[in-house]
Amino acid sequence: MARLALTIPENVQGDFFVDSTCIDCDACRQIAPAVFADIGNQSAVIHQPESSEELVAAQRALISCPTASIGDVAKHDMSAAVASLPELIAEDVYRCGYTSESSFGAISWYIGEEKILVDSPRFANPLVRNIDALGGVRTMLLTHQDDVAEHQKFHDRFGCERWLHRDDVRTRTATVEHQPAGLDPVRVTGDVRMIPTPGHTKGHSVFLYRDKFLFTGDHLAWDPDDEMLIAFRGACWYSWPEQIESMQRLLDYRFEWVLPGHGRPVHLDANRMHAELERCVAWMRRRA
């Protein structure tokens, strides 16, 4: 629970605040961008909610904070925010919220029609109940070893089959049912492909849904400041040259959405997305 005694001076006055335990994961800034902003090494409240929409968004961010660093002095009723997670983003794709500290606040996604979780959120009872009401979890797709969080609890609760590239299997993921190897794409379902993209980690993979939604883990994200697709040069734990080649191979695919675990999502038409990906590859090569 956030502590008012630890509130940071950058917060604007009002009910919502961020305390000094914030780890700067960016989840709150994605979920409620009108309320929270980056102040250099963590988030702060830059605008107190005024409308009901802003209030619910701020509450979603509070619920989703992996370190419980967001507080609400007034203790508003949270029922609408709790009921709204997972949050519908487009078609049957939802943002889960309830990020995990063990994944440094990485965003997880839910595909309603396929009953798929992409990466693991916290195993929080309200979220689990809401996912159960949507049909449960048939499959869990793990992009890489960093964002597996409480995958075992979701498996135990729903009996879901899990996918993780063999090169990222570690002790806590040794029980994962599907462990493809190599660089060849793998068909998970009729509408979902697993595309190995080594670079950030050796076994990192992205998942393409309906040739439209690309779930990118820590491989690819949108930079809203420079308005371009980027990779994280400073958080490449395995090989930057490998990540460049992985990004190059993604040019063979068509998609309109980039939905990362870390970094900002983006929706562009397919032709512009392809052009932006080409631009990203060129940018990466300049930083090799």
Sequence-separated (6 or more) residues with CB below 8 Å from residue 283? 228, 230
Nearest to 195 by CA among 204, 180, 209, 185: 185
Q: How far is CA 146 from its chain centroid?
A: 12
Tokens of 115: 């009953």
Scan for tokens 């001076």, then name that residue: 9
Sequence-separated (6 or more) residues with CB below 8 Å from residue 191? 114, 209, 210
Question: pLDDT tens digits for 196-236?
Answer: 999 999 999 999 999 999 999 999 999 999 999 999 999 99
- Reported confidence tier of residue 132, pLDDT bands at 50, 70, 90: very high
Nearest to 259 by CA among 30, 3, 13, 15: 30
DSSP classification of residue 156: H
Q: Average pLDDT of 97-120? A: 98
pLDDT of residue 192: 98
Q: Radius of gyration over alpha carbons of the chain, in Å? A: 19
Asked whether the predicted pLDDT for residue 179 surpasses 90, the reply is yes
Q: Kindly state the helix (H) or strand (E) to which residue 127 belongs, with its residue range.
A: helix 125-134
Alpha-carbon span 147 to 242, nearest angstrom: 20
Domain with CATH 3.30.70.20 in the chain: 4-76
Q: Reply yes or no: is the peptide bond before residue 9 cis, omega within 30 of 0.
A: no
Q: Average pLDDT of 106-114? A: 98
- Reported confidence tier of residue 1, pLDDT bands at 50, 70, 90: confident
Q: How many CB atoms lie within 10 A of CB 30?
A: 20
Alpha-carbon span 225 to 234, nearest angstrom: 18
CATH superfamily, domain 84-286, is Ribonuclease Z/Hydroxyacylglutathione hydrolase-like (3.60.15.10)
Nearest to 155 by CA among 172, 139, 174, 171: 139
Q: What DSSP assignment string belongs to 226-264?
A: TTEEE--GGG-SS-HHHHHHHHHHGGGS--SEEEESSSB
Q: How far is CA 170 from its chain centroid?
A: 21
Nearest to 218 by CA among 138, 98, 140, 104: 104
- Reported confidence tier of residue 238, pLDDT bands at 50, 70, 90: very high
Domain boundaries 4-76, corresponding CATH code? 3.30.70.20
Residue type, 155: H
Length of the chain: 288
Alpha-carbon span 114 to 191, nearest angstrom: 9
